Amino acid sequence: MVKIRVADYMTKNVYTLKPDDTVEDAIKLIEKTGHDGFPVVDENNKVIGYISSIDLLKKDSKTKIKDIMSKQLYVARDFIDLRDAARVMFRTGHSKLPVVDENDRLVGIITNADVIRSQIERVDPDKVDKLKRTIEKVHGIKVVVERGKVSVDKLVPTQTKIYADELRGRMYELKRGLAEPIVVIVKGNNFYLVDGHHRVVAAKNLCIKELDAYLLKVPATIELGIEKLIRKKGLRSVENIEIIENAPHPLVEITFRNSR
């Protein structure tokens, strides 16, 4: 079984508070972000506490965060198994854990929502390896897999449409700094997007130039089945992908019940 690390799903862009910030500052940050708690860091970005919305109840607006923050913390390291972090959250009743490096400096935050997300539509080495072996078997070639950055503008899609509801979710994830890789087949100067169409369109909409990717490199001399599909559909760039606005993702069912 492939080990999924905390680093694979943690949020890297973390809202924080300083010890000399006030309750008023914390309330403003809650109103801005919708979050219910924040790590407290010092001038070196070292985590020294945590403040939750409950800690703010019935406190004077000018009270310093350092005077009411929780100092006994549960934290995670980015290299640990995500399942181990999930067990800690479940057993302690915490919905999120700050992620720190060896010097206790903040590098991210992992939430129970991230744990759930890790089980949904994840792109992991097993999935990539299966695709690699399939291409090798079908074409009798050797496929080299690398991890790297790829330009969004160079990608040629292999599907014609995506769904607006899923796109909004992917845009939200990218804004939070989540870095789930896409899967790309590289053939000469061509970059064929195999997995991650919603994420790529989201990146395009957010003016993100590059994305992390699994790059499957194949010889330029072979003819891939997906190339026939690309030609048939007239796909040339991300702009050719249609966004379906009036229908939910086919995996989602919405049920309306009349109230009585």
Q: Which residues pair with 145 in a beta bridge?
A: 216
In this model, does residue 177 exceed pLDDT 80? Answer: no
What pLDDT is attached to residue 158?
A: 93
For residues 233 and 181, give the distance between their C-alpha atoms in angstroms, rounded to a whole number: 25
Q: How confident is the model at residue 253 (pLDDT cuts 50, 70, 90)?
A: very low
Q: Which two tokens stand for residue 86?
A: 């999930």
Mean pLDDT on 177-200: 89
Domains parsed from the chain with CATH numbers: 6-117 (3.10.580.10), 125-244 (3.90.1530.10)
Q: Are strands 182-187 and 190-195 parallel, antiparallel or unpaired?
A: antiparallel
Read off the pTM: 0.56
pLDDT confidence band for 60 (50 / 70 / 90):
very high
The two structure tokens encoding residue 199: 């994420």
Place of tokens 């009349």: 258
Write down the pLDDT at residue 127. 79
Q: How confident is the model at residue 233 (pLDDT cuts 50, 70, 90)?
A: confident
Q: What six digits make up the tokens of 226? A: 């997906």
**Do residues 21 and 65 lie in contact, with contact meaning Cβ atoms separated by under 8 Å?**
yes
Who's near 138: CB < 8 A, 6+ residues apart?
225
Rounded CA separation 60/64 (Å):
9
The residue behind tokens 């934290």 is 75
DSSP string, the chain: -PPPBHHHH-BSS---B-TT-BHHHHHHHHHHH--SEEEEE-TT-BEEEEEETGGGTT--TT-BGGGTSB-S---EETTSBHHHHHHHHHHHT-SEEEEE-TT-BEEEEEEHHHHHHTTSS---HHHHHHHHHHHHHHHT---EEEEEEEEGGGEE-S-SEEEHHHHHHHHHHHHTT--PPEEEEEETTEEEEEE-HHHHHHHHHTT--EEEEEEEEE-TTS--HHHHHHHHHT--SGGGPEEE-SS--TT---------
Model confidence over 102-140: pLDDT tens digits?
A: 999 999 999 887 887 676 555 567 778 888 999 999 889
Predicted local confidence at residue 92, as pLDDT: 86
Task: Give CA–CA dist 200/206, Å, rounded.
Answer: 10
Q: What percent of the chain has pLDDT over 90?
A: 59
Interatomic CA distance for residues 159 and 151, integer angstroms: 18
pLDDT at site 17:
97
Asked if 108 and 179 count as a contact pair (C-beta separation under 8 A), the reply is: no
